[in-house]
């Protein structure tokens, strides 16, 4: 008798998938730094009908690479003219597409995921606008959950902000600020050797009241200094409600050659 692959055996035993991303739709919240998502039908059923009565519809989609639930490639941010690893940003972007650190190099991920639920730690449904998630917050959330991110893991930070996704003004928080990771939280994560991290806001990191996206130091620490990918616009509410804090994380970015990011549909896989 042939032995079954352990991974196939696990899947055969029953797996439930939990959505970790937001749906894409025209008019959804979008960072002011990026062009928004637009979709419309360019062919409707009945516009053209085949001799056998068949018909088809299709759409056109226009979007930035950092709109909706997405992952940042290492080409997305530079500091003092350099991308991760000391690569010259000016040289890499010549010709209108990146020749280094492009989105085609984003990895597919099937790894351990850890939820660091800071909103639950602070006993609130949603962290206050502009709240800075610190290294201490992450450490306490990890201890509370009994799981700590490690080498090759994906660490997801829940602020509860996804609850505001239906209200663009509240979600973007231009005047109020948006909760998110502080530089010391980013270094706490980098010290643990994670491969990627994400959160349920538009910019991942703390946006103080009225500051907008003027400076993004956490992006520098993670992308440029540490080579850690960033996921934004996650929806972690269903995962939080499940009670799971450790799970199998699944992600498959689009291989956009020379791009700076990719829309994604992240999933948590758990035994049914």
Mean pLDDT of the chain: 95
Q: Given this model, what pLDDT does residue 109 score?
A: 98
Q: How confident is the model at residue 7 (pLDDT cuts 50, 70, 90)?
A: confident
CA atoms within 13 A on the CB side of 193: 4
Q: How confident is the model at residue 3 (pLDDT cuts 50, 70, 90)?
A: low
Beta strands in 47-182 (DSSP E): 58-62, 70-72, 109-117, 132-133, 154-158, 180-181
In sequence order, the 6+-apart residues with CB closer than 8 A to the CB of 236 are 20, 115, 117, 156, 158, 162, 200
Q: Given this model, what pLDDT does residue 13 score?
A: 77
Q: Given this model, what pLDDT does residue 2 score?
A: 57
Arithmetic mean of pLDDT, 16-25 = 96
**Residue-wise burial string across 200-224, b where 16 or more C-beta atoms lie within 10 A, e elsewhere:** bbbbbbbbbeeebbeebebbbbbbb
Q: Given this model, what pLDDT does residue 272 score?
A: 76
CA quadruple 155, 159, 160, 162: dihedral, nearest 10:
-70
> Model's pTM, two decimal places?
0.94
CA 206, 178, 196 angle in degrees (round to 5)?
50
Helices vs strands, H then E, count in the chain: 8, 13
Q: How confident is the model at residue 42 (pLDDT cuts 50, 70, 90)?
A: very high
Arithmetic mean of pLDDT, 211-224 = 89
């Amino acid at each position: 008798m042939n032995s079954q692959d352990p991974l196939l055996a696990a899947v055969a035993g029953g797996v439930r998938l939990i959505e970790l991303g937001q749906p894409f739709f025209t008019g959804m919240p979008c960072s002011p730094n990026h062009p928004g998502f637009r979709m419309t039908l360019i062919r409707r059923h009945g516009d053209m009908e085949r001799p056998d009565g068949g018909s088809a519809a299709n759409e056109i989609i226009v979007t930035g690479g950092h709109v909706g639930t997405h992952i940042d490639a290492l080409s997305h941010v530079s500091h003092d003219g350099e991308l991760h690893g000391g690569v010259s940003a000016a040289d890499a972007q010549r010709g209108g597409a990146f020749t280094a650190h492009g989105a085609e190099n984003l990895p597919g991920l099937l790894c351990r995921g850890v939820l660091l639920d800071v909103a639950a730690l602070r006993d609130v449904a949603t962290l206050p606008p502009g709240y800075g998630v610190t290294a201490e917050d992450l450490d306490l959330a990890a201890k509370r959950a009994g799981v700590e991110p490690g080498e090759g893991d994906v660490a997801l930070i829940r602020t509860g902000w996804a609850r505001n996704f239906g209200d663009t003004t509240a979600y973007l928080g231009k005047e109020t600020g948006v909760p998110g990771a502080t530089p010391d939280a980013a270094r706490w994560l980098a010290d643990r050797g994670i491969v990627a991290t994400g959160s349920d806001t538009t910019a991942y990191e703390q946006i103080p009241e009225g500051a907008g996206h003027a400076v993004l130091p956490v992006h520098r620490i993670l992308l440029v200094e540490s080579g850690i990918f960033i996921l934004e616009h996650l929806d972690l509410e269903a995962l939080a409600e499940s009670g799971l804090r450790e799970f199998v994380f699944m992600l498959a970015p689009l291989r956009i050659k020379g791009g700076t990011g990719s829309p994604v549909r992240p999933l948590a896989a758990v035994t049914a």
